[in-house]
Each structure stands twice: as structure tokens, then as C-alpha cells.
Amino acid sequence: MADVRLLTEEPDQRHVLRRAWPHLREHRRAMVAAIAVNLLSTLSLTLVPVMIGRAVDELLDGDRTGLLVTAGVVLGLVVVRTVLLRWSELLLTRVGEKVVHSLRDLVVERLGTTSLRFLEAHRGGDLLQRATVEIAELATFVRSQLPDLISLGGYLLFSVIVLLASSWQLFGLLVLVFGPPMWWISRRFRRAAQAAYPAEAAAQATLAATFSESLLAREQLQIDGATSTWLDRLRQDADGYLRTARAAQRGATWIDATWIVQGLTSAALLVAGGILANEGVVTVGVVVTFVLASRDLFSSIDDFTLVAGEMLESRVGLARLLDLLDATSSPHAPQNPEKSGTSGGTAGTGLSADAVTYSYRPGEPVLHGVSVHFAAGEHAGIVGETGSGKTTLAKLLCGLYLPDAGAVRLGGADLSGLGAAEVRRRLVLIPQQVHMIAGTFADNLALTPGRPGPQEFARAAERLGLTGWVAGLPGGFDAELGRRGERFSAGERQLVGLLRAAMTEPEVLILDEATADLDPATAHRIEEALARLRRNRTVLVIAHRPSTIDRLPRVVRLHAGRLTSPEG
């Protein structure tokens, strides 16, 4: 298991924003613009209570003109605040969408090029959760939580300046009554949430994985009548998720305690303000400013505490997403660059495995030091009982897995030293079960390097003698194959694989014969197509059917992960 770094269920959450910055950097200008607009809008809001306080003093002094001007300013500030806030929201929404777009592209690209071993080592549902839900959470963070955070920061700063300038006595009181209890409450909340949210996210991913696996296995489940066993598993996972969600909810209760602190602070300000105004230390307007400003401050803290929980969840989601990006960061980079110089030139020496060892699980090798050589242009077969390691050897020979020990060489060059694109172009494996995507026959054929079109499809079909077969399909290349290509049998899917191979023109083609029974016509078409594809390339067939084995000029036999027949 040397070449994969596995994902962590509850990955490190420290400095997630700093670690995410490289992915956000390209959007920094738009973010700065949105933040600046948001801060301006917050500044307008901060000035409203000051103006109202001033209006109260003008009212008490009987200054009518001043009062009218101040009322006009208040109205202007409110309009400016509303317009700027909406503008900053629009800007941030746009940034959020861009972030999601580029991250989703990156994740898809990484998952598409990362090692097969990495993909097989993880549950599909977990990868899906990270690639969709958790990216969307990041967008929500940029779109809605970030503005709240900025508003609160700006509001705190501007309020401190304005209130301190109005009355240091009342400001001191506000800090003393409000500060310490809020600090304590937020500490309790953070502590509870830090334990609860990562567990909740992991439990949610587990539930998603179990659900998607049971959907994929639905046919088998019904055949086996094992639906109730799966329901039990789902129920267990759902219970686990509920438990973690409840713990997260309990943590959030701390936030409600802030209401009491706010009430106390307002009361203290009113009482102290009344006394100070009576003694002529401050004007009534200043007391009004304080009470209004502190209410605004509370409501923006309320908004913030509402999103504080979501922010911690986003942090967990972001950490899980970064974990995925880190784990897939150098997709199939040449592992031994010094060996990569020989790519292409020495194809004449064929394909060989040198003392190749491979294990899916540490300490349980499936292949033990397998050495075999296939000359360029050779046509050979690999046979052996089920579970002997034929498919595993085929995947190693195609560079889909990297060996734990030993090496696979094509034309003398170690496959681990070649780039992924080159490996995919030069070696093609048609697996036992060819997977199809939802759509037409043509959509599935288009999944070939070089994005071939109808002309290439037709040429490939003609080359392999499959034109008649294609013409017999309703719609030809435009035939709808169903969601997972279920209209095609296992053998017909392998014909799709052969057509793709004909368009790729690899040096080496490996066909892992379908184990399902093929109808004689399809089996004949595969034989025929292979015979036509054979020219000028190495073709290996992992043979299951005696009829195929009989026709093969050379056969190597695997038994329990070891070669038993003399190798060439």
C-alpha cells in the first residue's frame, strides 16, 4: 500500500482558511471589493444611532432646522446602507459561485486522475459527499457567513470608535457588563461544537456511503432478499448520525444564553445613562445613542451567533475537502522521473513484469514476485482459477496500480516513471465488467482520449467488423443505453471497450474476458474484433472460456498469485 495516502475521517481543522487560501487566491480581487462595499455599508449603519441621539438633543434644545437636517441625514444613511449591503451580497454571491465552480472542476480532475488504488480504498459516498456537499458549504460560507463576519468585525470597530468618542463612562460599562459573560459563553460553545461538528460530518458521510452502496447493489439485494439486513445497516448509520446531530444541537444551546446578557446590558445602560444625564455628565442624546447602538450591536451579534454554528460546520467541511485535495495532489506524477526518458523510443522490447508484488491490504500480498515478459506484437493469454490474481496482474501491467515491489516496464521504461496520459495512451485494459455512463452509445464511445466523433466511431466499427452489429441497434450509435448502459450485455460492453481501443491505438491491449456467459454471436464478434486489432500490438487475454484458451498461441498460468507455467 505504498502509493496511497488515505483520507482522514475527521481531518485537521487548524488554519483551514490559510490552507484554503491557494484555492481562493485567484478570487481575491472580487473578495476585497465585496468586503470594502460591505464595510462601507456597516459604517453607514453605525452612524445612524449617533444621528438619532443628535436629533434627540436638537429636539430638547428646540433646534428645528438642525432636527430636519439630521433627520435627512438619517434617511440618507439608511438608504446608503441598504444599497451597499445588497451590492456587497451580490458581489459575494458571485465570488461564491466562482469558488465552487473552480473547486468542483479541480476535485473532478483530481478524482479522474488519481490512482485507482486511492479510489478503491474509499467509499464512493464519502468521496461524493466531499466533492459536492462540502464544496457547496464553502460557497455558503463565502456567500452568507463571510459577510456576517465582516459586518460584525466592522460594526465592532466602528461602534467602539463612535461610542468611546461619545462617553467613555458608558462605554466602560458596556464593555464590563457585556464582554466577560459573552467571552465565557462563546468559549463554551466553541468547545462543544469543536467536538460535535466533525463527528456529525463523518456520520453524515457514512450514512451517504451506505445509502449509495445499497442503491448500487439493489438488484443483488432483491435477489438475496437481504433488504432487511441493509435496512438495519442504514438504520444503524442513521442512529449514529442522529446521535452526533443531537450533540451538536446541545452545543448550540449555549448561544441562547446570550439573550439574557443582552437584556442585562441594556438595563444597566439605561440606569447608568439616566444617572449620568441627571448629573449633566452626558446629554440625553448620548444615552439614546448608546442604547440604540448597543441594540444594533446585539442584533448583529445574534446574526453572527446564528451563523457561528454553520461556520464551524463549514470549517469541518472545508477541512475534509482540503484533505481530499491534499491526498490527490500529485496525480500520477512520474514517480521515478530519472527513468522516464525512454518513453516511446524502445517499444520493440515489449512489456514485462519484474518480480512484481502487490497487496490490497498491508501484509496480505495477492501477487508474489511475478516475473513475465511479453514480446512486442505477441498474442498471449493469462489463465488461472478465480481469485488467483489475473485481474490484479492485468491492472499492474496497464499501470493502473503501481507495484509494492518490482517493476512493470514497457519498451524498457518503468511505467511508474511515465506520465498518466502517456500510460493511458500506450496501454489499454478492457475490464471484466466495462462500466458505462448514462446516455447513448456515442456518449460512451466518446469517453476515449482525443474526444473522437461519429466519423471515428464509424471507422473503428468498420475496422473491427462491427458495422453490421451497430446498424442492428435501434438508433445505431445514437442508441439509448439506459442509466448504466444496462441495455448492453457484458459481452456487448466489451465490444464498446474494443471500439474505444481501436480509436486509441495502444501499443498494448489487455482484455479481461467477461466471466458472464456470452451468447455465441457476441463471443464470435469479440474474437473477430480482437483478431483484427491484434496486428502490430501486444494483445493479452485473460481467458476464462476454454474455447479462447485453446486458440491462444501462448498461455501463462497464475496460481494463488504466483506464476506456475514457464514464462517467456
Ligand X SMILES: Nc1ncnc2c1ncn2[C@@H]1O[C@H](COP(=O)(O)OP(=O)(O)OP(=O)(O)O)[C@@H](O)[C@H]1O
Q: Which residues bind Mg ion (CB under 5 A)?
A: 391
Task: Decide whether 390 or 424 has the Cβ nearer to ligand X.
Answer: 390
CB of residue 233 to ligand X, shortest distance in Å: 20
* Residue 346 near which of Mg ion, ligand X, none (CB within 5-8 Å, type-dependent): none
Task: Decide whether 217 or 234 has the Cβ nearer to ligand X.
Answer: 217
CB of residue 530 to Mg ion, shortest distance in Å: 18
CB of residue 116 to ligand X, shortest distance in Å: 9
Instruction: Indicate left, alpha or beta for 33 from its phi (over 0: left) and psi (-120 to 50: alpha).
Output: alpha
The CA distance from 344 to 337, in Å, is 15
Task: Decide whether 167 or 388 has the Cβ nearer to ligand X.
Answer: 388
Cell numbers given for 415: 511505467
CB 562, CB 388: distance < 8 Å = no
* Residue 263 near which of ligand X, Mg ion, none (CB within 5-8 Å, type-dependent): none
CB 209, CB 125: distance < 8 Å = yes
CB of residue 508 to ligand X, shortest distance in Å: 18
The CA distance from 469 to 353, in Å, is 37
Task: Decide whether 397 or 413 has the Cβ nearer to ligand X.
Answer: 397
CB 358, CB 367: distance < 8 Å = yes
SS3 2: coil
CB of residue 489 to ligand X, shortest distance in Å: 18
CB 154, CB 43: distance < 8 Å = yes
Using CB under 6 A, list all residues that contact ligand X: 120, 360, 366, 384, 386-392, 432, 515
Task: Decide whether 362 or 520 has the Cβ nearer to ligand X.
Answer: 362
* Residue 289 near which of Mg ion, ligand X, none (CB within 5-8 Å, type-dependent): none
CB 143, CB 31: distance < 8 Å = no
CB 516, CB 434: distance < 8 Å = no
CB of residue 257 to ligand X, shortest distance in Å: 51
* Residue 386 near which of Mg ion, ligand X, none (CB within 5-8 Å, type-dependent): ligand X
Task: Decide whether 88 or 391 has the Cβ nearer to Mg ion.
Answer: 391
| Bridge partners, residue 111, by sequence | none
CB of residue 431 to Mg ion, shortest distance in Å: 8
CB of residue 389 to ligand X, shortest distance in Å: 4
Enclosing H/E stretch for 566: none
Cell numbers given for 402: 503501481
Cell numbers given for 56: 434627540
CB of residue 544 to Mg ion, shortest distance in Å: 8
* Residue 21 near which of ligand X, Mg ion, none (CB within 5-8 Å, type-dependent): none
Task: Decide whether 186 or 357 has the Cβ nearer to ligand X.
Answer: 357
**Cβ contacts of 158 within 8 Å, gap of 6 or more:** 42, 43, 46
**Cβ contacts of 460 within 8 Å, gap of 6 or more:** 445, 452, 466, 499, 502, 503
Task: Decide whether 367 or 445 has the Cβ nearer to ligand X.
Answer: 367
Residue 194 CB: number of other CB atoms within 10 A? 14
H runs (alpha helix) in 382-465: 390-397, 420-426, 441-445, 454-463
* Residue 392 near which of ligand X, Mg ion, none (CB within 5-8 Å, type-dependent): ligand X
Task: Decide whether 283 or 388 has the Cβ nearer to ligand X.
Answer: 388
The CA distance from 148 to 306, in Å, is 10
